[in-house]
Amino acid sequence: MREEFSQGRMNRCSRIHQLILENWQRTKVLEYVVRAREPIAGLSVSELRLQYFSVGVGNDLTDLPFTDMLVVFSMIAQTAAIMRARVANNERDGRFRLSINTDFSDAEAVRLLSQMKIETPFDTHEFLKIEPVD
């Protein structure tokens, strides 16, 4: 199923990405909140695609559909990789470009989800546990 990813959605993802990055730069710790809005334990990736998640920093949360949440964390993963490369190469900060994908395969979704800490207040476990697929 393909859905339109509007400029408004992209702007919202960019704002949340920026919020998380600014907090990371200020605190020197990558901290964020991703919270399921409904019970999600045992759901398949196909079923997770229908869910919404509250995403942000502290109490500054925005409800996002699954795909948008993946976009935000794809942007964070790319930013972290760029920052690591710059530190390794002793480069100064500056502008950089991110590649934005909005059509995640199940394998790509699982890879990103396995790197995230997702609160599950409606389930018996505190966090969603997803193992990366080799």
Q: Where are the domains of the chain?
A: 7-114
Contact 80, 96 (CB under 8 A): no
Q: Is the pTM of this model over 0.75?
A: yes
Task: Look at residue 39 in the predicted model and tell me its pLDDT.
Answer: 96
The closest of 53, 54, 58, 70 to 22, measured between CA atoms, is: 58
Contact 12, 20 (CB under 8 A): no
Task: Look at residue 3 in the predicted model and tell me its pLDDT.
Answer: 59
Consecutive 10-residue runs of the chain (134 residues): their mean pLDDT? 76 96 93 96 94 97 97 94 81 78 93 94 90 68
